[in-house]
Amino acid sequence: MREISPGIFVETDQRGANYSAILTTDGFVVIDTPIVPKQAVAFRDELKRVAGGKPFLYVINTDHHRGHIVGNQFYTPTPVVAHDIAWKHMKGYGDNFKQRVIDSFKKEPEIQAQFTDIQIIVPKITFSHRLDIVRGGRDIRIIRIGGHTAATSAIWMPNERILFVGDAVWVDQHPYMAQGNSKEWLDGLTYIRKLRADQIVPGRGPVTGREGTERMSEYIRYIRARVRTMHRQGRTKQETVQTVLREVVGWFPIAPALKSKTESQIKQGIGRIWNEMEKAAKVKDKAEPDSEPDEPADE
């Protein structure tokens, strides 16, 4: 756990998604929770030590994926805050979801053994666009940006100029795009840059600045451009996925043990963008056959 500004703590070196906490004069606001139970308990206990008896006020989930929400149960009865769409997904998580969490660690039985009783803590406080928390001397603004998922949200602290962006940004890693909307993702990254944060806490990887968002935009733009070109050439989805995979797989480092999983993840993302282009082409044929999808204008 590292303190990147007085009372603002982040953990970027553990398994799964990053998680953070903001200390106010009233207590802690936690941003995302660890998927590995021992990590979740250790982070909670360290925050308790730092807080000196002050309570946990809120847990904010930046989206509904397991890497951000499974550890919520270790902070009960603290209310969870998330986007409306995240709530919709989380309230439907049952035994199948829990089993997928366990199965994701099938090569690590020591971690699997920690999942003795998975409880899904559904958000009690939701929002559709933006929610402000002004508490204990902190101004915390939760803003839906979408892209990675329809529920993906950023947490902006304007006074400290620190921005937590969840999986909208992955630093030196291929992002998970299988449930994304690439056009909305690019718009969200442009919005993030316009806030001019001094420090950006990504969903994966080390704390970054504007450069982390630019690299992510470059990656998504490249895939969109290549998929659009191949789609217009009449190439099949499978041909497009295989070709673009070869072109982008080297953009970020991949651990040998994760090669197969990461390549599968990249393929899913390319396929998702191909579906976007297919849908856009059908709409264009009906409306304006010669029009071209707009890209977001960067500042």
Mean pLDDT calculated for residue range 138-151: 98
Domain residue spans of the chain? 2-209, 217-286
- Global confidence as pTM: 0.92
Q: Give residue-wise pLDDT tens across range 4-44.
A: 999 999 999 988 899 999 999 999 999 999 999 999 999 99
Give the 3-state secondary structure percentages of the chain, helix then strand then coil, rounded to 5. 40, 20, 35
User: In Å, how far are 88, 138, 289 from 21, measured between CA atoms?
Assistant: 25, 12, 50
78: tokens are 């603290």
Strand-pairing partners, residue 143, are 130, 154
Does residue 131 surpass a pLDDT of 60?
yes
Rounded Cα–Cα distance for residues 152 and 285 (Å): 31
Element (H, E) at 98: helix 95-103
Rounded Cα–Cα distance for residues 188 and 165 (Å): 10
Q: Give residue-wise pLDDT tens across range 37-83.
A: 999 999 999 999 999 999 999 999 999 999 999 999 999 999 999 99
- The predicted pLDDT at position 291 comes to 38
User: SS3 sequence, 159-194?
Assistant: CCCEEEEEEEEECCCCCCCCCCCHHHHHHHHHHHHH
Provide the sign of the torsion angle of the four alpha carbons 212, 215, 221, 226, taken in this order: negative
| Cβ atoms 11, 2 nearer than 8 A | yes
Q: Provide CATH code, domain 2-209.
A: 3.60.15.10
The burial of 202, by beta-carbon neighbours within 10 Å (0-12 exposed, 13-18 middle, 19 or more buried), is given as: buried
